[in-house]
Structure 1
């Protein structure tokens, strides 16, 4: 039979590195193609690299039909699960595949809800011999914890990969895929405007690291200032309280001094009033004496 290579399926999973491809080729040349190629009808689903190597060297290979596929979505989900089960892919690739799976599952659930809960039928152009069974419904990935379990990553890694997936330019994504920078650094660089991301990626590994460092320092600075602000406010408040207390003390001292002076004035006036009756009687006696 003629095997059809669907370029979209071939590119759905990140290709092998040159070193990985050479290693696979040496293995097949030494031991033959041990694993069967997986087909959906006449469409090649799994084994693109093995198929290419076998054709290049005119080597025999086996094929097997997966009869559970009913749609291209089933094919994509199967490919994702196959690669998530392998140890050879990177953490970033795991995260991206889990995000793809979430999108497919969410779209399928929305479609089922719109159609009254009925599963979609196999497309009219799908292979007739590839729909003999129903694909089990995949686990819903509607939480970060579920994504982390599916990808075998930590929650924090999933958060960073989501950010890269949404915000990073292709140049930054290529850098993290190749291992030029870490997931953590790529997530930091993804916070920058697109033109700055491209410039850093174009400049190379060192500039990408410096860009990530600048982003982290810029994030720390507001927190440091925020942490220092309550202490400064507390100090200012303490200074203001001390000034208020000192002002009140001076005011009390002034009022006390003024009160003492007033008391003295009152005492003097009383003394003067007490002395005037005698002086008045004497004046009266003098004016009434005969000449």
Structure 2
């Protein structure tokens, strides 16, 4: 019977717990093969290994632990979990927002988290640094911060689970708390639909009202002989300008590559722009071209 009871360190809670089938598989593996990796403790609390700890407790196995002696526990948590997990952009944005929120609490002396402020929390990053650390855009981090600030606990949890995009959750925070909870009870589709409706309503409200011009009746044309038209000269067509949709896709791709984002994060940004009125058909065509280009570039690389 396991007797060791441990608390979770706040930094360990940056990442969501494993649940469902994934947790069941982990517990089964520990039952069959034993605990392969020790649980890492920092200041007497679990810094890494909450899921292994839960599995050991469930299996009545005494958990194996080790004490962290380094000076960058946040870096350790990020390094281990970013390599283990396949997190969505929304989930990484929530992690980044949690990091920033904790830093602000430390700086203002809130939450009673002074015990390790001198060692670790002073290194917790701002929006730009957090975005870079998690491989996402600063806009996604800002959206997650607003979800934390104005969203209900249920809405935050839906983003943490990866059920909804952080941009959709940000839109829903415009509703009052009761409306948010009602949407969360109805599920991710209801949240996504409400987000679209709120976005459309905002765009309609933002459009300036254009007065209808007064119709002026044109005078009757005079019966004149039309002059002979000069012969038309066939000139080569000017090269067609790149569509705004395609241009935005390439701009974000370049920005993401320079900023260290991954492809999923860039795609999330493009989808946000798509919801703001980007031309879907033009974007689909640009993607089709990009796929063909990828095939030929790969072939060219292979020939070198």
Match of 1:201 in 2: 184
In 2, Cα distance between equivalents of 1:48 and 1:145 = 28
Provide the secondary structure at the position in 1 that maps to 2:123.
coil
Alignment of 1:258-277 (within 5 A): none
TM-score (normalised: structure 2): 0.55
In 2, Cα distance between equivalents of 1:37 and 1:22 = 18
In 1, Cα distance between equivalents of 2:115 and 2:166 = 39
In 1, Cα distance between equivalents of 2:108 and 2:177 = 32
Question: Is the CA contact 2:8–2:46 (under 8 Å) kept in the aligned structure 1?
Answer: no
Alignment of 1:20-169 (within 5 A): 20-40=22-42, 42-57=44-59, 59=61, 62-68=64-70, 79=77, 82-84=80-82, 86-108=84-106, 138=123, 140-141=125-126, 144-169=127-152
In 2, Cα distance between equivalents of 1:41 and 1:173 = 28
Question: Any unmatched runs of 5+ in structure 1?
Answer: 112-119, 124-130, 243-291
1:110 Cα deviation after fit: 6.3
Task: Flag the 1:41–1:90 CA change in 2: closer, same or farther, 3 A.
Answer: same
Task: Flag the 1:4–1:41 CA change in 2: closer, same or farther, 3 A.
Answer: farther
Which is bigger in relative contact order (C-alpha 8 A, separation at least 6)? 2
Question: Any unmatched runs of 5+ in structure 2?
Answer: 219-304
Answer with 1 or 2: which has the greater Rg. 1
TM-score (normalised: structure 1): 0.57
Provide the secondary structure at the position in 2 that maps to 1:98.
helix
In 2, Cα distance between equivalents of 1:87 and 1:7 = 19
In 1, Cα distance between equivalents of 2:15 and 2:84 = 13
1:37 Cα deviation after fit: 1.4
In 2, Cα distance between equivalents of 1:12 and 1:158 = 14
In 2, Cα distance between equivalents of 1:2 and 1:40 = 19
Question: Is the CA contact 1:4–1:43 (under 8 Å) kept in the aligned structure 2?
Answer: no
1:5 Cα deviation after fit: 0.8
Provide the secondary structure at the position in 2 that maps to 1:173.
helix
* Higher share in helix: 1
Question: Is the CA contact 2:40–2:67 (under 8 Å) kept in the aligned structure 1?
Answer: yes
Question: Is the CA contact 1:3–1:42 (under 8 Å) kept in the aligned structure 2?
Answer: no
Question: Is the CA contact 1:169–1:194 (under 8 Å) kept in the aligned structure 2?
Answer: yes
Question: Is the CA contact 1:3–1:43 (under 8 Å) kept in the aligned structure 2?
Answer: no
Match of 1:187 in 2: 170
Task: Flag the 1:43–1:189 CA change in 2: closer, same or farther, 3 A.
Answer: closer
In 2, Cα distance between equivalents of 1:194 and 1:136 = 31
Task: Flag the 1:222–1:165 CA change in 2: closer, same or farther, 3 A.
Answer: same
Residues 70-108 of structure 1: CA deviation (Å, up to 9, x unaligned): xxxx76775456435543334333222222222333455
Residues 140-170 of structure 1: CA deviation (Å, up to 9, x unaligned): 41xx332311221123322321221211122
In 2, Cα distance between equivalents of 1:104 and 1:172 = 19
Q: Are 1:212 and 2:213 matched, yes or no?
A: no
